[in-house]
Amino acid sequence: MSSHGNEPSWLPKRSVSPYQAYVLTFSTVVGTGILSFPRLMAKEVGTDGILVIPLVGIIAGIILFLISKLGGLFPGMSLAGLSREVLWTGRSPWPGKMLSLPFLALFVLNWMAILVVATRSFGQVLVTAIFQRTPITVIMLMMVAAAAYVSHSRVDVLARFNEFLLPLIYAPGILLIAALIQSGEMEHLLPLFQADWRQVAKGAATTLFSYTGFEVALVFMEAYQEPKKALRSHLTAVFVISFTYWFTYLSCLAIFGKEELVRMAWPVLELVKAVHIPGMIFERLESAVLSIWVIAVFTSLTNLFFAIIQILHESLGLAARRRKWLTLAIGGILYGLALWPTNLYELNRWGEWVGYFWLFNVLFFPPLMYIIARIRRKRGEKEDETPSV
């Protein structure tokens, strides 16, 4: 925690309801990758993707189960405080801070890398699909500036912001259902059980990469009203995310088939074009879907941005008035790195390496911290579970 104890907290206690915990998790995960996810899955495992996605959802659920249990063991603590408590039991806090720094640095670097790839991918999609004459630098600058501005808020404000936008993110589901009913062919879903174990492993990794971001719960849990009930919120979010990816892939596969799907850059946009509305009341539905996708990407960027700033703020012990300068600095670094990839191929390579880095983090840190906490029987201070008014 910061040494400036008399200053307002950016994670006020008991300010995030169980429903908002679900919203923050869902909104952080569903973002940039949803447009290209079906193509990547078709390339790796073909029709077996409809079986692999639920299995990966179970893996993500297990990881979030451990994260939720950590939050229950240490109510009122975020990632920075939790890691210090688990790794050090002495009276002096400094050894705990030093031991936790490598773990915190891994998360900050990983989230920063995710933001870089997401920001550049966001700009690439908009320049390709809509704003052909607008420089990609301008699009990315506007997104980074907006995300930095919104993330410079308390977590309860951020949670309400996500809660307000969530219904819009659900809206494209109606178009997916319509496209599947109108143009879907069930024979495109067969045959099953064609992929070998290597293809399944690669497809599972690809799917798991699409879950990047759910570990921000380690930061937000400090503000949960009912930490003991976080497990239900988190697992509900994983279930809805898994169903979203599964149904999106099922729809794209049923409409286009595997061979056509692997040749599409943004399959979801092409799928929306297949929707026929009687009377031509609405045209160019892909533009509306892109607008909603922008909202989904924005909430993902904002939540990750907040998590990075919060960890750095706590670790460095900065005063509240310094936080805006930290936000500007991180935003500038993010924008500069997002300009680095020279083409789409290089961006995809970056995304692949970032995915493996993230996979290492989530498979290593939460289980390790939970095992150490259980072995040492470490628990945070007990708190009254009744939410403050």
Residue 383 has pLDDT above 50, yes or no: no
- Amino acid (1-letter code) at residue 232: R
Where are the domains positioned within the chain?
Answer: 18-368
Residue 46 has pLDDT above 60, yes or no: yes
C-alpha 143, offset from chain centre: 17
Q: Is 232 exposed, middle or buried (0-12, 13-18, 19+ CB in 10 A)?
A: middle
**Three-point CA angle 289, 295, 300, nearest 5°:** 125
Where residue 3 falls among pLDDT bands split at 50, 70, 90? very low
Give the per-residue pLDDT at 332. 94
- Amino acid (1-letter code) at residue 284: R
The pLDDT tens digits of the residues spanning 86-125 come to 877 666 667 767 888 888 899 999 999 999 989 998 888 8
If you average pLDDT over residues 369-383, what whole number do you get? 71
DSSP run (H or E) holding 268: helix 267-273
Where residue 385 falls among pLDDT bands split at 50, 70, 90? very low
Which CATH fold would you assign to the domain 18-368? Answer: Amino acid/polyamine transporter I (1.20.1740)
Give the per-residue pLDDT at 321. 81
CB contact at 8 A, 71 and 248: no
Residue 309 has pLDDT above 90, yes or no: yes
Q: At what angle do helices 136-151 and 155-170 cross, to 10 degrees?
A: 130
d(CA 335, CA 330): 9
65 vs 318: which has the higher pLDDT: 65
| DSSP E strands, the chain | none
Mean pLDDT estimate for the chain: 84
Residue 283 has pLDDT above 80, yes or no: no
The pLDDT tens digits of the residues spanning 148-207 come to 999 988 999 999 999 999 999 898 888 888 888 888 888 888 888 888 888 888 888 888
Residue 386 has pLDDT above 50, yes or no: no
Closest listed residue to residue 208, CA positions, set 234, 180, 183, 242: 242
CB contact at 8 A, 79 and 107: yes
Give the per-residue pLDDT at 26. 94
Give the per-residue pLDDT at 24. 94
344 vs 68: which has the higher pLDDT: 68
Give the per-residue pLDDT at 388. 40
Residue 25 has pLDDT above 80, yes or no: yes
If you average pLDDT over residues 36-54, what whole number do you get? 88
Give the per-residue pLDDT at 234. 93
Q: Give Cα separations from 350 to 59, 128, 186, 214, 305 (angstroms).
A: 24, 19, 35, 20, 19
Residue 282 has pLDDT above 70, yes or no: no
